[in-house]
Amino acid sequence: MKVLVLTSEPIGAEQLRAALGPDTDPADTEVMVVAPALQESALKFWFSDADDAIAKADEVRRETLERLSDGGVPASADTGESDPMVAIEDALRTFRADRIVLFTHPEGDELYREDLDPDEVEGRLGIPVGRAALPAR
């Protein structure tokens, strides 16, 4: 199985295992992590102040790879566009996922444009999509 993970905060192997459920062992899957360059606010997004968001996405990418590796989950990772849907679509051009997992902050605590609807993503892409919670910021 190939799993595409979208996350704006570093995650570890146990978080991924919990998101995938007991029937899927991430150590036996091909995992691709995408860390989109999300902005803290709409104001930063509209003023194209992307440097901090890009740096944060790269940090999330690196730390997630390290945590997954330490937990026995082989993975690859990349940073993505500030629009999470575009980041997913870009990743799917080279990684044909069988499943997508969206790690997002709780409602009301999301980063700008982090509020993807799993049903909408699944309907648009035709790939099963699940959601897992990141801790509140």
Write the DSSP assignment of 23-74 as a string of letters.
T--GGGSEEEEEEE---SSHHHHHTT--HHHHHHHHHHHHHHHHHHHHTT--
Are 101 and 5 in contact by the 8 Å Cβ rule? The answer is yes
Q: What pLDDT sits at residue 112?
A: 55
* Mean pLDDT score, 88-95: 97
Please determine, for residue 32, whether its predicted confidence score (pLDDT) is greater than 80. yes
Confidence of residue 42 (pLDDT cuts 50, 70, 90): low
Q: What pLDDT sits at residue 128?
A: 97
Number of domains in the chain: 1
Q: What pLDDT sits at residue 137?
A: 72
> Could you read off the pLDDT of 45-84 as tens digits, one per residue?
555 667 788 999 999 999 999 999 999 999 999 999 989 9
Q: Range of 51's domain?
A: 2-133
What CATH number is associated with residue 75? 3.40.50.620
> Could you read off the pLDDT of 99-133 as tens digits, one per residue?
999 999 787 666 656 688 999 999 999 999 999 98
Q: What pLDDT sits at residue 46?
A: 54
This model's pTM is above 0.75: yes
